[in-house]
Amino acid sequence: MVLIAMLFNLFSFAHRKFKKMSKKLYSAFIKLNFKNRNPNWDLLGLENLDEVSNLPSVQWKVMHLKNMDILKHTKALNKLMTVLYPIY
């Protein structure tokens, strides 16, 4: 009975960790997609995509990303990738 409880706790712990990790990976993918100057709004999985994509703060960010110098943009994108996907 103790072994079953230990296995249950282990699987519960692994499930929580995996769920947390998958949320981080999803979030990272969304951020990279947005930062790459061509946001795919469908990745958000929201019903009101037009409302989200037309928010002033979102439009401001998209405008500034599109106007960013290519070299500066590449450096910023690479920096974001190293933060989101660090090499161990």
User: What pLDDT score was predicted for residue 69?
Assistant: 92
Q: Is residue 6 part of a domain?
A: no
Q: Is residue 73 part of a domain?
A: yes
Which tens digit of pLDDT belongs to each residue from 31-51? 777 777 777 777 777 777 778
Q: Which residue has the higher pLDDT, 61 or 13?
A: 61
Q: Is residue 20 part of a domain?
A: no
Task: Give the whole-angstrom CA distance, residue 10 versus residue 4.
Answer: 10
Task: Give the whole-angstrom CA distance, residue 25 versus residue 37.
Answer: 19
Q: Is residue 1 part of a domain?
A: no
Which tens digit of pLDDT belongs to each residue from 51-83? 877 888 888 888 888 898 989 988 988 888 787
Number of domains in the chain: 1
Please provide the DSSP assignment of 35-50 as one string: HTT---GGGG--S-HH
Range of the domain at 64: 26-84
Task: Give the whole-angstrom CA distance, residue 80 versus residue 6.
Answer: 39
